[in-house]
């Protein structure tokens, strides 16, 4: 059983999805300290993980292999102070923000991982999820490896370190290790004199290169480049391994890269996870969400007076629905910006609702109106029914729910927190039954055939909707035990 919050033995399952993490790497060829810039980059990626974060840096002109690092549980602005950042002296570094599941939410599992071995040191940050992590971990344990964490990122780090002993370069060691691991991974790796980025052959998770003056960056999302004033250079291609160094600049040795498979980008990067001001593999996320709303209006029209989005991820799709349908777009919800990742959750008998703490309805906007409510997904349904109820209590005559993704029917094994089938509201239920559960007047989902269109025709993974995964899932479901 997976859960995000465990309170005194009682498991709670929030009705929202989570991305597993974000990565940020930087190398300043002029020798300037990078920690403060990495901090702001992680701040821009905070939406990808809110439980822990960390930064590791090294001075390429100093002692070979000396790494300074700091990581802890909490948000970026909670973990790092000016005093801590000033102590992290170095011109090359990697940073990480992480979301985890119950049982693995510990400081030891925070990243980046720093590994000391016979060839020096490695700093590693990972976004994704391996499907053969348990197999590789057991193999390493039987040859004497001692693990300090329960995350599969440490398995990757160990394999890179072992391959480095018989490789001529660290990028060759990364390539050899990547041929052993299976699943989703976008990696940023810091060696004593190089910054390396690697993306799995399917391209599940995004990874981009940026440049500012003499500094280079490898990041999960382009919005992080905008935040620190860097120019986007290009995306790292599926299966590609990129090396950044003062001697060679940006290098990509095709002999070391993995053969791209049938590309399978996580469609939820476009629907929900990525910030709307991000561009992934040439496709603007904001425009993707606008198109999802337009498709909903084309395929599932309804007569109404107002279109509203559930903040924040439903807003762009709601605007697209309004643009296509001609129904006015408006604001129906006020979001409490100060509700962080942890607030005291009321008990079942309490009148307070976690949804009401986060959202309040503008009665004047919806009273007496037929409302189209756009949201990005329905997972367990516990949030959707409360929001529909709130709208009707505020005077909405009708509430028509439109979802900018298809129904969830299968779990995810590649780094998205989609639970097992029995916990999914759409499992073994028709759309009409789901409509009754959430109390909507009508309900419609985005059609499956629209997904490639909203992703600009790129290859996508839609396994959580269809059960057709780009690779065979693991026989043992270890998602709650070995996660980034």
Clarify whether 464 is annotated catalytic.
no
Q: What are the structure tokens assigned to 30, written together?
A: 């002029």
- Spell out the domain ranges in the chain: 5-261, 283-457
283-457 is a CATH 3.40.50.2020 domain: yes
16 or 155, greater pLDDT: 155
pTM above 0.75, yes or no: yes
**pLDDT of residue 479 exceeding 60:** no
Task: Yes or no: say if 175 and 257 are a contact pair by the CB < 8 Å rule.
Answer: yes
Q: pLDDT for 37-78, tens place per residue? A: 999 999 999 999 988 999 999 999 988 778 999 999 999 999
Q: Give the model's pLDDT for residue 356.
A: 76
pLDDT band, residue 484 (cuts 50/70/90): very low
Assess whether the previous peptide bond of 112 is cis (omega < 30° from 0). yes
pLDDT band, residue 109 (cuts 50/70/90): confident
Q: Give the model's pLDDT for residue 118.
A: 76
Architecture of domain 5-261: 4-Layer Sandwich (3.60)
Q: Give the model's pLDDT for residue 105.
A: 64
Q: pLDDT for 269-320, tens place per residue? A: 999 999 999 999 999 999 999 999 999 999 999 999 999 999 988 999 999 9
| Mean pLDDT along residues 173-188 | 94
Residue 65 CA to residue 38 CA, distance in Å, equals 20
CA distances from 190 to 290, 349, 354, 399, 460 (A): 37, 50, 40, 51, 29
Long-range contacts: 335-342, Cβ < 8 Å, 24+? 335/311, 335/359, 336/360, 340/50, 340/75, 341/50, 341/51, 341/75
- Of 21, 178, 257, 266, the active-site residue reads 21
């Amino acid at each position: 059983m997976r859960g995000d919050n465990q309170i005194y033995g009682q498991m709670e399952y929030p009705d929202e999805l989570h991305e597993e993490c974000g990565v940020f790497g930087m190398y300043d060829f002029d020798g300037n300290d990078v920690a403060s810039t990495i901090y702001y980059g992680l701040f821009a990626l905070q939406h990808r993980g809110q439980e822990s974060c960390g930064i590791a840096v090294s001075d390429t002109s100093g002692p070979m292999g000396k790494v300074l690092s700091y990581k802890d549980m909490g948000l970026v602005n909670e973990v790092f102070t000016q005093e801590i950042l000033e102590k992290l002296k170095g011109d090359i570094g990697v940073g990480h923000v992480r979301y985890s599941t119950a049982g693995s939410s510990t400081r030891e599992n925070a990243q980046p991982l720093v590994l000391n071995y016979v060839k020096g040191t490695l700093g590693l940050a990972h976004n994704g999820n391996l499907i053969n992590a348990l197999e590789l971990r057991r193999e390493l344990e039987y040859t004497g490896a001692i693990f300090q964490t329960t995350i599969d990122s440490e398995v990757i780090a160990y394999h890179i370190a072992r391959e480095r002993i018989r490789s001529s370069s660290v990028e060759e060691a990364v390539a050899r290790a990547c041929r052993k691991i299976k699943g989703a991974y976008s990696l940023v790796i810091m060696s004593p004199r190089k910054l390396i980025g690697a993306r799995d052959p399917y391209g599940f998770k995004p990874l981009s290169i940026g440049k500012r003056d003499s500094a280079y960056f490898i990041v999960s999302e382009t919005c992080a480049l905008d935040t620190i004033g860097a120019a986007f250079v290009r995306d790292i291609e599926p299966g590609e391994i990129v090396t950044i160094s003062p001697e060679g600049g940006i290098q990509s040795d095709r002999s070391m890269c993995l053969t791209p498979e049938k590309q399978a980008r996580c469609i939820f990067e476009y629907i929900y996870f990525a910030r709307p001001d991000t561009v992934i593999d040439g496709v603007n996320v904001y425009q993707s969400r606008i198109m999802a709303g337009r498709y909903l209006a084309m395929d599932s029209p309804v007569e109404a007076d107002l279109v509203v989005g559930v903040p924040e991820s439903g807003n762009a799709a709601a605007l697209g629905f309004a643009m296509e349908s001609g129904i006015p777009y408006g604001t129906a919800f006020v979001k409490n910006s100060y509700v962080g990742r942890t607030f005291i959750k009321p008990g079942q008998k309490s009148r307070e609702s976690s949804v009401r703490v986060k959202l309040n309805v503008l009665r004047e906007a919806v009273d007496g109106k037929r409302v189209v409510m756009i949201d990005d997904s329905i997972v367990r349904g516990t949030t959707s029914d409360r929001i529909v109820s709130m709208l009707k209590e505020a005077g909405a005559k009708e509430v028509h729910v439109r979802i900018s993704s298809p129904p969830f029917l299968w779990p995810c094994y590649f780094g998205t927190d989609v639970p097992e089938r029995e916990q999914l509201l759409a499992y073994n239920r028709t759309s009409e039954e789901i409509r009754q559960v959430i109390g909507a007047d009508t309900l419609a989902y985005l059609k499956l055939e629209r997904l490639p269109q909203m992703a600009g025709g790129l290859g996508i993974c839609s396994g959580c909707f269809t059960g057709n995964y780009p690779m065979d899932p693991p026989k043992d479901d270890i998602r709650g035990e070995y996660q980034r």
